[in-house]
Amino acid sequence: PMPIKTPRNENFAKLSAGYLFPIVAKKRKEYVEAHPDAKVISMGIGDTTHPLPAHIADAMAAYSKGLGTREGYEGYDPKSESLLKAKIAEKLYPGLDIKPDEVFVSDGSKCDIGRLNILFGFHAKVAVQDPAYPVYVDSSVIFGRSGTINETTKQYDGVTYMPCNPENDFFPDLTPALSSDIIYFCNPNNPTGACCNREQLTKLVNFAKEHGKVILFDSAYSAFIKDPAYPKSIFEIPGAKEVALETTSFSKLAGFTGVRLGWVVCPAELKFADGTPVKQDLGRIMSTLFNGAASVSQIGGLAVLDDLKPVQDIVDYYLENARLVRECLTELGIKFYGGVNAPYTFVHFPGRDSWEVFDEILHKCQVVTTPGVGFGPAGQGFIRISAFAHRENVLEACARFRANLKA
């Protein structure tokens, strides 16, 4: 066939390989096809597994049925959006003076990260934690914020990588970000499971204020923070409203990975150098490129916030899974990090290749994990174990680890 003459976005050619999680899924599929009798347990991709609480599913079902009636039908701009914004501000940011018009309801954090890329000039440079959720780097590459990948370091030219490792307690030296404009920061961190204390986040905010940087703060896993010494929101830190946006979602808070619902908080105090409020441009992006989260999802979100205890109980269920994994690894003498105020445990195999360890655990234990190096060069030698699984599968996976792994 004749190819089109329209030029391709040349930045796609810079992407080094396929997106991490489809590669993990492909390896799992190939193993299952080769070993059809194997009972493979997935503790890799961070997808929730627990059913939605009944009151949430019932609320969405009743609303959906109502859409089939004249009285219950809604199209664009459902009434739920303004209610949801107000309830997010009230229930999830108590005492922080977040206003409903500073909350932008969306279809989830990953989509928001793509939209937020549009918010800043295309020549703006980015800094990321290393390792980090791959979307930060990959989306930056697609939007032209990088050069090509360095095959030796496995890092993109033009992107600043801030190593997070046991030696620095997984909190990076921020100095390299002096050459960047945007700092991506995920807390609790995916994949390391590290969670920053108040002093560390204060250091991050003060750095951004002193040097005029913006922080894109991803708090998708904040529901897993149980220790009050660890802030759930960047806006608990004085001055953060002048330098940060926060993106998060109902995916891990309430098991909405398929339902799709999230939000961005963009404070009125955050302004560009010319004085333009950042929320003004974000509002334009959301109205121009997005028609809003599905009304059914918004009804689900309202039900979540009307009674948070059932979803908090599910979060506790996953945290108990993480505790069981930590207990098992401790017995085996295998070094690990995280898994306390986060659903991920970052397991260290010094001197080994992450993909080699992934393959060994898949073949010896029939358990799918995630290679740490897939999140960045500093993740080499680690694998990530997810607590998002049914309890019986976690117990079985731990039994297989005890039988087949050693320090």
- Nearest Cα to Cα of residue 212 among 247, 239, 232: 239
Query: For residue 179, how far is the Cα from the chain centroid?
Result: 25
Span 337-354, average pLDDT: 97
DSSP 271: B
Span 239-254, average pLDDT: 97
For strand 367-368 and strand 155-156, is the pairing parallel, antiparallel, or unpaired?
A: unpaired
Span 83-109, average pLDDT: 98
Instruction: Please check the confidence at residue 18 and state whether its pLDDT lies above 80.
Output: no
Give the pLDDT of residue 132: 95
Query: For residue 330, how far is the Cα from the chain centroid?
Result: 27
The more confidently predicted of residues 121 and 344 is 344
* Contact (Cβ atoms closer than 8 angstroms) between residue 45 and residue 65: no
Residues 6+ apart with CB under 8 A from 96: 233, 235, 236
Instruction: Please check the confidence at residue 17 and state whether its pLDDT lies above 80.
Output: no
Q: Token pair for residue 144?
A: 């032209």
The residue with tokens 């659903």 is 343
* Interatomic CA distance for residues 126 and 138, integer angstroms: 11
Classify 14 as helix, strand or coil: helix
Span 126-132, average pLDDT: 97
Please report which helix (H) or strand (E) contains residue 314, including its range: helix 309-332
* Contact (Cβ atoms closer than 8 angstroms) between residue 188 and residue 225: yes
Q: Token pair for residue 268?
A: 């009125």
DSSP 126: E
* Interatomic CA distance for residues 362 and 317, integer angstroms: 25
| The model scores a pTM over 0.85 | yes
Instruction: Locate the DSSP E strands across 20-151.
Output: 41-42, 103-106, 126-130, 149-150
* Interatomic CA distance for residues 308 and 111, integer angstroms: 25
**First vs last C-alpha separation in the chain:** 55
399: amino acid identity, one letter: A
Query: For residue 36, how far is the Cα from the chain centroid?
Result: 33
Give the pLDDT of residue 21: 83
Instruction: Please check the confidence at residue 236 and state whether its pLDDT lies above 90.
Output: yes
For strand 214-218 and strand 41-42, is the pairing parallel, antiparallel, or unpaired?
A: unpaired
Query: Which region holds residue 82: left if phi is over 0, alpha if psi is between -120 and 50, else beta?
Result: alpha
Instruction: Please check the confidence at residue 221 and state whether its pLDDT lies above 90.
Output: yes
Give the pLDDT of residue 252: 96
Instruction: Please check the confidence at residue 143 and state whether its pLDDT lies above 90.
Output: yes
* Interatomic CA distance for residues 68 and 177, integer angstroms: 53
Q: Which residues pair with 160 in a beta bridge?
A: 127
At residue 106 the predicted structure's pLDDT band, cuts being 50, 70 and 90, is: very high
Tens-digit pLDDT profile for residues 144-188 = 999 999 989 989 999 999 999 999 999 999 999 999 999 999 999
Tens-digit pLDDT profile for residues 80-92 = 999 999 999 999 9
- Nearest Cα to Cα of residue 63 among 243, 302, 315: 302
44: amino acid identity, one letter: G
- Nearest Cα to Cα of residue 208 among 239, 246, 232: 239
Average pLDDT, the chain: 96
Phi, psi dihedral angles at 327 (to 5 degrees): -60, -45
